């Protein structure tokens, strides 16, 4: 157990990292917007032959920028990034970044993309920043210090039944997609309704903000949601044990929700939610 002085020192260093995450997320989002304005000229690649899983020079450049800032300010920290892989995972502090979450939306001129930067400390998500330049919104949070969009505090929805709001949903071509349609069918049978915007980070932030009552994804990667998990927790929402097993590097099924509907949504997902 760390001493009181060690805890105080850690809080100071985390405050510096929190300020850093917010500033770099905004700068990276501005960099992304410059590419977004000329998206039709970007070189696009497809990952692993999946025509829906795309990456552009914008993703690569923005992640390189973020990694450079991290190396300059916190060289002792580890990092997990969508495009550049992982390193330094033995470190106490590990950054988890997605330079452009919602790349397909980005490339097709849809305003549903963002920059997501989160931090794990001793294996726990402690702070995060999600910058949405299309709507001038910076979602950010720090465990024990609250969660905000710009300067406005976030609070999860007070719904007690799925028919009282919208549920964000998503799936991929990875294993687990077979659970998607049964979930939608069950949700509709209960009088609920769903939306999909193409960005896991933004839909997680929207749960924290009370704009969505929940968000279910059949399989999500950590860079899509690590920052958002902090926001949901600080806003009073609930989440499944996403980081269990190889969740940090391999991902897992994912559910975040307002406290009054979490159990109902988890029941609709079924055993696959927390299966190893």
Domain stop point among 153, 171, 193 = 153
Q: Are residues 29 and 77 in the same domain?
A: yes
Q: Are residues 147 and 187 in the same domain?
A: no
Cα 252 from chain centre: 13
> Which residues are registered as beta bridge partners of 140?
129, 148
Q: Are residues 145 and 210 in the same domain?
A: no
- pLDDT value of position 41: 79
| C-alpha pair distances (Å), 168 with each of 23, 184, 193, 194, 205 | 28, 11, 9, 6, 11
pTM equals: 0.93
In this structure, are residues 113 and 106 in contact, taking their beta carbons and an 8 Å threshold? yes
| Token pair for 30 | 């501005």
- pLDDT value of position 5: 54
Q: Which of 222, 216, 219 is nearest to 238 (CA)?
A: 216
What residues contact residue 84 under an 8 Å CB cut-off, 6+ apart?
63, 64, 67
| Token pair for 236 | 């009073």
Q: Are residues 245 and 146 in the same domain?
A: no
Q: Are residues 212 and 124 in the same domain?
A: no
- pLDDT value of position 82: 82
- Where in the sequence is the domain holding 135, given as residue range(s)? 4-153
- pLDDT value of position 276: 57
The parts of the chain modelled with pLDDT lower than 50 are 1-4, 7, 49-52
In this structure, are residues 261 and 228 in contact, taking their beta carbons and an 8 Å threshold? no
> Which single residue is written with the structure tokens 């920028």?
65
Can you tell me the distance from the alpha carbon of 98 to that of 81, in angstroms, rounded to the nearest whole number? 6
Can you tell me the distance from the alpha carbon of 241 to that of 258, in angstroms, rounded to the nearest whole number? 15
Q: Are residues 147 and 168 in the same domain?
A: no
CATH of the domain at 119: 3.30.540.10
In tens, the pLDDT along 174-196 reads 889 999 999 999 999 999 999 99
- pLDDT value of position 44: 67
Q: Are residues 107 and 235 in the same domain?
A: no
> Which single residue is written with the structure tokens 């905000």?
148
- pLDDT value of position 51: 39
Domain stop point among 107, 123, 153 = 153
Q: Are residues 128 and 172 in the same domain?
A: no
| Token pair for 55 | 């990456």
In this structure, are residues 68 and 61 in contact, taking their beta carbons and an 8 Å threshold? no
Domain stop point among 153, 174, 196 = 153
b/e string for 11-21 if b means 16 or more Cβ within 10 A? eeebeebbebb
Can you tell me the distance from the alpha carbon of 164 to that of 185, in angstroms, rounded to the nearest whole number? 17
In tens, the pLDDT along 116-128 reads 999 999 999 999 9
Q: Are residues 187 and 248 in the same domain?
A: yes
| Token pair for 103 | 């790349």
- pLDDT value of position 174: 87
Number of domains in the chain: 2
Q: Are residues 185 and 214 in the same domain?
A: yes
Q: Are residues 92 and 120 in the same domain?
A: yes
CATH of the domain at 191: 3.40.190.80
CA dihedral 74, 75, 77, 82 (to 10 degrees): 100
Can you tell me the distance from the alpha carbon of 105 to that of 114, in angstroms, rounded to the nearest whole number? 10
Q: Are residues 205 and 127 in the same domain?
A: no
């Amino acid at each position: 157990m760390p001493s009181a002085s060690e805890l105080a020192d850690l809080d100071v260093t985390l405050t510096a990292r929190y300020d850093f995450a917010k500033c770099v997320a905004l700068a990276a989002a501005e960099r992304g917007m410059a590419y977004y304005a000329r998206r039709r000229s970007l070189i696009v690649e497809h990952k692993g032959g999946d025509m829906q899983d795309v990456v552009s020079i914008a993703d690569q450049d923005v992640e390189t920028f973020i990694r450079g800032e991290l190396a300059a300010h916190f060289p002792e920290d580890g990092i997990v990034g969508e495009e550049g892989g992982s390193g330094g995972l033995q470190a106490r502090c590990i950054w988890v970044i997605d330079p452009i979450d919602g790349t397909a939306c980005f490339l097709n001129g849809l305003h549903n993309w963002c920059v997501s930067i989160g931090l794990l400390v001793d294996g726990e998500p402690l702070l995060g920043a999600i910058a949405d330049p299309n709507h001038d919104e910076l979602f950010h949070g720090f465990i024990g210090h609250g969660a905000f969009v710009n300067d406005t505090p976030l609070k999860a929805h007070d719904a007690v039944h799925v028919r009282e709001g919208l549920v964000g949903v998503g799936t991929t071509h990875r294993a687990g997609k077979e659970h998607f349609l049964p979930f939608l069918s069950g949700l509709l049978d209960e009088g609920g309704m769903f939306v999909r915007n193409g960005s896991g980070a933004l839909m997680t932030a929207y749960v924290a903000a009370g704009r969505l009552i929940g968000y279910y994804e059949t399989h999500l990667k950590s860079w899509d949601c690590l920052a958002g998990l902090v926001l949901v927790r600080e806003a009073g929402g609930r989440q499944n044990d996403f980081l269990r097993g190889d969740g940090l590097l391999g991902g897992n099924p994912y559910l975040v929700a307002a406290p009054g509907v979490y159990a109902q949504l988890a029941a609709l997902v079924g055993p696959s939610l927390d299966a190893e």
